[in-house]
Amino acid sequence: MKRTPKEQREFDRARINEADPVAFLISVMRGEPVPLRDEIGAVVGYQRSDDLALRTAAADRLLKRVVPELKSIEATTETGVTFKIVSPFDLPGSRRANPTKSTARLPTSNSSGCAT
């Protein structure tokens, strides 16, 4: 049976949800045994990784799902004034659309030490 692209995406998402990749990454991060499967998906054993790099990579992957990568913060005061703070710097983990082009300007100080 041939699926439409939309049906295929929905089918793939359902299979991924069934596999529970988040639980798998948590197990790897904790150094717990994870199932080894054969080509048809049957569990043929378990393996535990003490590799710190692998466990750290799993933790990093999970962290990106939980903590958003902030590029800016927008807030509105009680008086209705809205302001937006955008970082002029490339923050760790940030993805700028054009990292070589920044419109931000850092304050400079004059000879008396006051910001201008």
Question: Who's near 116: CB < 8 A, 6+ residues apart?
Answer: 107, 108, 109, 110
**Residue 33 within any structural domain of the chain:** yes
Domain extent at residue 15: 5-66
Q: Is residue 14 part of a domain?
A: yes
Which pTM value belongs to this model? 0.50
Rounded (5°) CA angle 67-72-73: 85
Token pair, residue 92, equals 């760790």
Overall number of domains in the chain = 1
Cβ contact 72:82 at 8 Å: no
47 in a structural domain: yes
Nearest CA to 64 among 88, 33, 29, 30?
A: 29
Residue pLDDT, tens place only, 11-60? 999 988 888 888 989 999 999 999 898 998 899 999 988 889 989 999 98
- Asked whether residue 95 is domain-assigned, the answer is no
Domain presence at residue 75? no
